[in-house]
Copies of this chain bind each other. A is one copy, B any other.
Amino acid sequence: MKVVALAGGVGGAKLVDGLADCLGASDLSVVVNTGDDFNFLGLRICPDLDTVCYTLAGIADPSTGWGRKDETWNALTTLEQLDAPAWFRLGDKDLGHHLDRTSCLFQGWSLSAVVEHFCQRFGIQTVILPMTDNEVATYVHTQDEKSLPFQEYFVHLRCEPKVKGFEFRGVEQSRPAPGVLTAIQEADCVIICPSNPWVSVTPILSVPGVRKALNEKLVVAVSPLIGGKAIKGPAAKMYTELGIEPSSVSVSRHYQGLISGILIDTEDEKDAKQISRLGIIPMMTNVFMRDSEDRKRLAIELLQFCESQLKGKNL
């Protein structure tokens, strides 16, 4: 079975890691959100791509999910001593990657070429694709009428401002990165990872051409909310601030018309009926991924769910 996964950061990376364990290298492509990408101290930083790449390379920090394991922070210490902005945690190993990427982009490489090179050098066989090679910048509109670049909101202000809406600047003019549409077209099913629907998945869906390609496919999501709470990150907080109850039902409604099924946590059994009424098949399981066994288990269940739905479509 050929699978495309749409992924944001930590949650997406974990599921993709499980999927990579179950599928052949040529059977899995990951399309990663780049709306979080930003410039910091002259460096081009791609947090979601890095999280996915580091996780698949087996070099991610298991305690945080992002950044590299066995990391040192000496450059950051110097930056702090010099009063430079140091709110984005730049590890030394990580920094070498940002320097290389920034330098390659400056020399005219595309982002997808930079990612492909990283994957080759770090032994990643799964195809990892940025959603686009164009610059798209997620902005968070806040209830106090500010427009914050995503990392400013997410890391610097620790998601404290209340959100009112989102903007993916540049997305209308963007084009899917080479390979994205082909991967979707060749896929048997597309999986929306348990990433933030608002700021991780919607940017990918907003790249012109992506939604149309997905309409031809079986698309299945994994809910990033369990019992109305996000496993990680501000997804639940965002739903609440936007006046929507944070729940698996709301996530399902978010993707209504796009997905035919969704994995929700057993804790959310009460939501199943409402989700079914949206025309979406819910499947209950343990959605939380504590370790690599959980990742693989969830991936297997998800792939079985996809297969059963594919069979159902064929009938």
A residues sitting closer than 8 Å to B (CB atoms) are: 41-43, 71-72, 74-79, 81-84, 91-97, 99-100, 102-103, 106, 117-118, 121-122
| Cβ of A146 to closest chain B Cβ, rounded Å | 22
Residue in chain B with minimal CB distance to A114? B82
With the chains together, A84 CA to B82 CA distance in Å?
A: 27
- Tallying the copies of this chain within the complex gives 2
A96 and B122 within 8 A (CB): no
A42 and B74 within 8 A (CB): no
**6 A–B contacts, CB within 8 A, in A order:** A41-B102, A75-B75, A75-B99, A76-B96, A79-B99, A79-B100
Residue in chain B with minimal CB distance to A105? B42
Residue in chain B with minimal CB distance to A96? B78
Of B72, B83, B91, B97, the residue contacting A121 (CB under 8 A) is B83
Name which of A79, A92, A93, A103 has the most chain B CB atoms within 10 A of its CB: A92
With the chains together, A122 CA to B78 CA distance in Å?
A: 10
Of B75, B100, B102, B117, the residue contacting A95 (CB under 8 A) is B75
A82 and B97 within 8 A (CB): yes
A41 and B99 within 8 A (CB): yes
Of B41, B76, B95, the residue contacting A78 (CB under 8 A) is B95
Residue in chain B with minimal CB distance to A44? B42
Q: Taking A42-B99, A42-B106 as given, write out 13 further A-B residue pairs in contact, using a Cβ cutoff of 8 Å, ordered by the A residue number.
A: A41-B102, A72-B74, A74-B91, A77-B93, A78-B93, A78-B96, A78-B97, A79-B96, A79-B100, A81-B121, A84-B100, A92-B92, A92-B95
Q: A82-B121, A96-B82, A121-B81 are in contact. Are A103 and B72 (CB under 8 A)?
A: no
Chain B residues lying within 8 Å of A93, measured Cβ to Cβ, are 74-75, 77-78
Chain B residues lying within 8 Å of A106, measured Cβ to Cβ, are 42
A92 and B118 within 8 A (CB): no
| Cβ of A120 to closest chain B Cβ, rounded Å | 10
| Cβ of A82 to closest chain B Cβ, rounded Å | 4
| Cβ of A69 to closest chain B Cβ, rounded Å | 12
| Cβ of A228 to closest chain B Cβ, rounded Å | 40
Residue in chain B with minimal CB distance to A118? B82
| Cβ of A144 to closest chain B Cβ, rounded Å | 27
Q: A92-B72, A95-B95 are in contact. Are A103 and B84 (CB under 8 A)?
A: yes
Chain B residues lying within 8 Å of A99, measured Cβ to Cβ, are 41-43, 75, 79, 84
| Cβ of A11 to closest chain B Cβ, rounded Å | 25
A100 and B42 within 8 A (CB): no
Residue in chain B with minimal CB distance to A106? B42
Residue in chain B with minimal CB distance to A79? B96
Residue in chain B with minimal CB distance to A86? B96
